[in-house]
Amino acid sequence: MLDRLRSIWAATDLRNKILFTVGMLVVYRLVAHVPVPGINPTVLNNALSKNTNLSQIFGLLSVFSGGSIANFSVVGLGVYPYITASIVMQLLQPIIPALHKMGTEEGEQGRNKLAQITRYIAVPLAFLQSLGQLALFASIGAVNSGQFNLLSGKTFLPTLTTLLTMTAGVMLLVWIGEVITESGVGNGISLIIFTGILSRIPSAIQQLFVSTGAGGSGSAAGSGTSVLLTLAIIAAVVLVLVYLIVYVTNAQRRIPVQYPSKRMIGRRAMMETRQASYIPIMVNQGGMIPLIFAQSLLLFPVILASYLSIGQNPVQWLRNVFVWLQTQLDPTNWVYPTLFFLLVFAFTFFYAEVLWEQQNMADNLRKQGAFIAGVRPGADTTSYLWKVLHRITLGGALFLAAVAISPYILTATHVVRGTSTSTNLLSAASVIIVVQVALDTVKQVQAQVVMRNYTGFLR
């Protein structure tokens, strides 16, 4: 291993890419500790600790912000608005022909146009989410409601400055992510989420000890033992999940394909031969994206319900509706993991079909004169590939959905004590994102090494 790391470090351009990536991630973590002017993080944390529902909601939202939402950082929204914009674009592509053409027919130029449109959509979404988050914090007393009011002449400019600062923070993270993708190693947006998740682990373990009163004597010592047992169970479950995720991520169905070729015999004679290859169909085509999509979709109504169910809402029936919605979508209720399971399952199929349609595999085989043994070219090949894709994706969707709700099953069966801290530590989203991003980054490093005639980072 040391020899392989040394060989990677010896490649100047690859070393510079790795150092650039690390440097940009360090910049992100430094910016994550810069609070929005006029916000007292202590008051904010006290208000969130008194509101259990909001604490759980923002615990889930912290997956995308790396915990920077706890101190109301300038990048407290993370890349969540950009992810939401990406979801919107993915949903609109099959519906709007112009967007579908950009993604499937215009190649790299079309994908660049889609990325630009996604950025344009992310800006108003970031501004609206900043406004909603600020209003929500003001409603529970986390921030001074008299200091932040967009409809008052005295507080208009400070409020607008705060909203623009948080919006700019989102786009700064998007820019950092895209710069890492272009000039560094790995997917920048994924690495930002990856770094944020890892940065939350020490503080989450500390909160788990503090919340149980561990570290003292007597009953506190017993609490410390139970916390250590909980951490041991969580570590064992995470190791099992990591193994299963790596196994399923690398699993694929290989469909054999015959490519025609010609070989010269003598000076004039040509003999037609066939070259065998295969089409790899991954069990989990979308990776971590379906899980992020599902969690993002569930967060929106939960945050909206938390804002509109407060006592200041003058419309009684509307307040009652959102109080009911807030109760049903509480992460400790069985409705939330059920919807989470169904959404992850549905998004896995949806994203796999979107990616497969963009590849246009059957048409590419026809153009190259290739064929699948026993299957007619054209419509029959298309139908056959879709059937294989759906059958393979079914197993991947069930696995991903089961892993997504595994923390809720463990807490419901009292295998792990059902605190928000332990659930966040055991979050399937966090585990899957960390494993997937690590695998993708290592594969990119391996590809860079192989290009330089090295034996490869992995054997």
Q: Find the domain containing 332 and state its range.
A: 252-426
pLDDT score for 457: 46
Per the CB < 8 A criterion, the answer to whether 138 and 144 are in contact is: yes
CA–CA dist 9, 18 (Å, integer): 9
Per the CB < 8 A criterion, the answer to whether 227 and 210 are in contact is: no
Q: Which residue has the higher pLDDT, 35 or 58?
A: 35
Same domain, 282 and 324: yes
Is residue 23, in this structure, part of any structural domain at all? no
What mean pLDDT comes out for the span 347-360? 81
Is residue 230, in this structure, part of any structural domain at all? yes
Same domain, 64 and 154: yes
Same domain, 159 and 217: no
Which residues, in sequence order, are CB contacts of 323 under 8 Å at separation 6+? 305, 309
Is residue 80, in this structure, part of any structural domain at all? yes
Residue after which a domain boundary falls, among 184, 211, 233? 184
pLDDT digits (tens, 9 = 90+) for 153-192: 777 887 888 888 889 988 999 999 999 988 888 888 888 8
Same domain, 288 and 377: yes
Asked whether residue 218 carries a pLDDT value surpassing 60, the answer given is no
Is residue 192, in this structure, part of any structural domain at all? no
Write the CA distances from 323 to 92, 149, 329, 353, integer angstroms: 31, 24, 10, 37
Q: pTM (2 decimals)?
A: 0.73
Q: Which residue has the higher pLDDT, 344 or 76?
A: 344
Q: Where are the alpha helices (DSSP H) in 283-378?
A: 289-308, 316-328, 335-359, 361-368
Tell me the three-class secondary structure of 199-260, residue by residue.
Answer: HHHHHHHHHHHHHCCCCCCCHHHHHHHHHHHHHHHHHHHHHHHHHHHHHHHHCEEEEEEEEE
Asked whether residue 17 carries a pLDDT value surpassing 80, the answer given is yes
CATH number at residue 279: 1.10.3370.10
Question: What single DSSP character describes residue 276?
Answer: E
Query: Which amino acid, one-letter code, is at 149?
Result: N
Same domain, 376 and 449: no
- The fraction of the chain above a pLDDT of 70, given in percent, is 68
Residue after which a domain boundary falls, among 184, 207, 227? 184
Write the CA distances from 272 to 41, 105, 261, 269, 324, integer angstroms: 73, 32, 6, 10, 70
Write the CA distances from 54 to 33, 139, 169, 302, 350, integer angstroms: 21, 12, 22, 9, 30
Asked whether residue 389 carries a pLDDT value surpassing 50, the answer given is yes
Residue 35, beta-bridge partner list: 73
Query: Which amino acid, one-letter code, is at 92?
Result: L
CA–CA dist 119, 101 (Å, integer): 19
Per the CB < 8 A criterion, the answer to whether 64 and 199 are in contact is: no
pLDDT score for 123: 92
Is residue 15, in this structure, part of any structural domain at all? no
pLDDT digits (tens, 9 = 90+) for 227-278: 677 677 777 877 887 888 888 888 888 888 887 765 555 555 555 556 777 7
Longest dimension (CA), the chain: 94
Same domain, 234 and 346: no
Same domain, 62 and 48: yes
Length of the chain, please? 459
Same domain, 105 and 232: no
pLDDT digits (tens, 9 = 90+) for 295-313: 777 777 766 666 665 555 5
CA–CA dist 133, 39 (Å, integer): 13
Same domain, 284 and 385: yes
The helix (H) or strand (E) run that includes residue 215 is none
Same domain, 309 and 371: yes
CA–centroid distance for 15 within its chain:
27
Same domain, 413 and 304: yes
Is residue 220, in this structure, part of any structural domain at all? yes
Same domain, 205 and 283: no
Is residue 61, in this structure, part of any structural domain at all? yes
Which residues, in sequence order, are CB contacts of 191 under 8 Å at separation 6+? 21, 25, 177, 180, 437, 441
Give residue for tokens 């995720």: 245
- On the CB side of 72, CA atoms within 13 Å amount to 24
Asked whether residue 344 carries a pLDDT value surpassing 80, the answer given is yes
CA–CA dist 164, 408 (Å, integer): 37
Based on the structure, what is the number of domains in the chain?
3
CA–CA dist 335, 332 (Å, integer): 9
Residue after which a domain boundary falls, among 184, 211, 236? 184
Is residue 397, in this structure, part of any structural domain at all? yes
